[in-house]
Amino acid sequence: MMKFKPNQTRTYDGEGFKRRAACLCLKSEKEDEVLLVSSSRHPDHWIVPGGGMEPEEEPCGAAVRETYEEAGVKGKLGRLLGIFEHNQDSKHRTYVYTLVVTETLEDWEDSVSIGRKRKWFKVDEAIRVLQSHKPDHAEYIRTLMNTSNPNCSPVYNSTNGNTPSAHVSDNNTPHYVVCSSGSDLVNR
């Protein structure tokens, strides 16, 4: 299913979830610093770069494209951290990958067109910054901190959103279900 917006096409999967992809941009293989970008709707808030998948686009390609557009960085695509579902007001299913940044552009699409900014944060600081307005994005970073083996990762139970259990999916891709408790989440 597709829905058209003036400048983009939103795609949905068979269950009605908006198909999204994002990269948790890392300063190094140590995975101790992440790059956040300012929100387009609320420039004083930070978010993880990501967005909707285009028709026929693979999740990893969409994650790299969205990261390049929003953060102006290129890098080495790493593991799939998981597939995060957000069921509150708008149903999103987001594929989140790691990306070790190898190139940082001085000017990039969103910095020129909307004045987007970017900033490196230590992982614990990034969680604090994201927790109040983007708890689902904070969960990406918590997952990064809790997973050193990409083939054996916690799954978050959809009933309470915080009960981890060991799980390896059929295709060795970790699957996460994140249920946000707040109803006042801010869209970017």
Mean pLDDT by 10 residues, the chain (188 residues): 50 88 97 96 94 94 97 97 82 95 95 95 97 94 80 35 32 43 30
Active-site residue set: 69
Pairing verdict, β 118-122 and 33-38: antiparallel
Taking a C-beta distance cutoff of 8 angstroms, is the pair 84, 93 a contact?
yes
pLDDT confidence of residue 182: 34
Tokens standing for residue 9: 């096409």
The candidate with the shortest Cα–Cα distance to 116, out of 51, 181, 62, is: 51
The candidate with the shortest Cα–Cα distance to 23, out of 13, 33, 35, 6, is: 35
Unique residue bearing structure tokens 């992440």: 34
Q: Cα(126)–Cα(142) distance, rounded to whole angstroms?
A: 10
Which residues, in sequence order, are bridge partners of residue 153? 167
- pTM of this prediction exceeds 0.85: no
pLDDT confidence of residue 12: 85
Distance in Å from the first CA to the final CA of the chain: 22
Q: Cα(52)–Cα(59) distance, rounded to whole angstroms?
A: 9
Fold category of 18-148 in CATH: Nucleoside Triphosphate Pyrophosphohydrolase (3.90.79)
pLDDT confidence of residue 88: 64
pLDDT confidence of residue 106: 94
